[in-house]
Chains A and B, each alone.
Chain A
Amino acid sequence: MNVTGTPPDDYPALELIDVVKEYPGAPPVRALDGVNLSVAQGELAAIVGPSGSGKSTMLHVMGTLDRPTSGSVRIAGHEVSSLSDRRLSAVRSALVGFVFQQFFLLDGDSAIDNVATGLLYSGEPLRKRRAAAATTLDRVGLGHRLHHRPNELSGGERQRVAIARALVARPALVLADEPTGNLDSKTSDSIQQLLHELHDEGATIIVVTHDNDLADSLPRQVRFRDGRIEHDSAWVSQ
Chain B
Amino acid sequence: MDKQKTLCIDYSKCIGCETCEYVCRFVHDVPRIHMIRAASGLMAPLYCRHCEQANCAKVCKRGAIRRDVDGAMVLLPMLCRGCESRQCMLACPYMAIFETDKGVMIVKCDLCAARRQVGQEPACAAMCPCGAIHYVEREAVAGLADEAFCEAEQRVLDCLRPVKGTAAPAPKEPEKP
Partners in one complex: no
Q: Which residues of A are in contact with B by a Cβ distance under 8 Å?
A: none
Q: Which residues of B are in contact with A by a Cβ distance under 8 Å?
A: none
